[in-house]
Amino acid sequence: MKEKLNINQKGKLMNKSVIVKIEMSGNRYNAFSSDGTKYTSDIGTGTRKGAFKKGMALERREGKNGRIYWWKVPMEMFEATTTPVMPDMTSVDVPTDHAEVLNFIHNSYSLKPTGLMMNELKWKYLVRSGVRGKNIMMTGPAGCGKTMAAKALVNSLDRPDFYFNLGATQDPRATLIGNVHFEKKSGTYFSESVFVKAIQTPNAVILLDELSRAHPDAWNILMTVLDYGQRYLRLDESDGQETIKVADGVTFVATANIGNEYTSTRVMDKALMDRFTIVEMDVLNESEENELLTYMFPHVDSEVLGNVAKIASLTRNEANSDTARVGSGISTRTTVELAGLLFDGFSLPEAAEVSIYPQYDAAGGVDSERTFVKQIVQKFCDDGSSDDLFNEEEVLEATEA
């Protein structure tokens, strides 16, 4: 089995020039170096897609401020890094023998990206569910890393993958089944969706993001697809009302926000929920939050990042108390955005002003949620004041006068 290079190992090689080629897998653009190392999760989707469309490779570079970025370069530069024998592009070869599967699952924690804060038990459970072809539902508060965990599973298993954001889908039937079109010359014809292709791809991993925000029509369509005893999709619009069977080894991974605070979500059907194995993401504690931010933004002052983690922890503890003065705590997604603003030269008060305060209601004046959160943030802000009432220049001016 070829060992996949994890993020810690990549970090040790940051000074080494890396050039990657973009390849399509399902409807995703994956990035591989010539030695078979996968860099997909390190590069933005738009950057990968843009390079693929132009037939170019990407080179990892470091800016003056230490920030890493990827630059389009001619494909010849990638080809110059290859050896006469093409490398094996499979990062992880998932075994089929039961004993080997057990060994793979229980040694899989090394495949977890460093940037994904997930405990060992839940990561192994996630990998086991993926290896066994289970339908997986990632649950947890908004911004806790559900989608990141789902994508990390895809990268770890390195199987064909497809991504569908059901929360942004206006027409579920068109997204999951297809569309009927009309042309003057050929008349009416049916065009099947990418989803139909996805479920026919053996061993594919299909991400169903924001399932709890999907239209009920999408849930009804997915019922037979997700049912282990049925596993088919009926194309009523096609000639002969074709029935498509789900291919062997296909794994569905969904993300969902469940709870009263998510007002744009729908109460999910119990029958649909029963078709999934639930993997619940945990909210990070202060130490874990600080570790994540330090890993992602090593050039930001560690004390300031520690304060960001403390602010987030205090709001979360308050939201969970019996006498809560805020409805919800600051999410990890927000702390990452705030740390990004700090990296770009904003002060903590400025970053909080634009990334934290707008999330809290200002109604109620001094008793409002926003005022309470501001008071928490201000405890960790340096307002520039000094213990001395006057500085040396002011004392000198007063004496001379």
Q: Sort strands 251-256 and 136-139 into parallel, antiparallel or unpaired.
A: parallel
CA distance 232 to 32: 33
Direct distance between the N- and C-terminal alpha carbons of the chain, in angstroms, rounded to an integer: 82
Give the residue ranges of the chain where pLDDT is below 50: 1-15, 83-91, 260-265, 384-392, 394-396, 398-399, 401
pLDDT of amino acid 206: 92
Specify burial of residue 293 (Cβ count, 10 A radius: 0-12, 13-18, 19+). Answer: buried
- Torsions phi, psi for 328 (to 5 deg): -155, 155
The secondary element (H helix, E strand) that includes residue 363 is none
The model's pTM is: 0.63
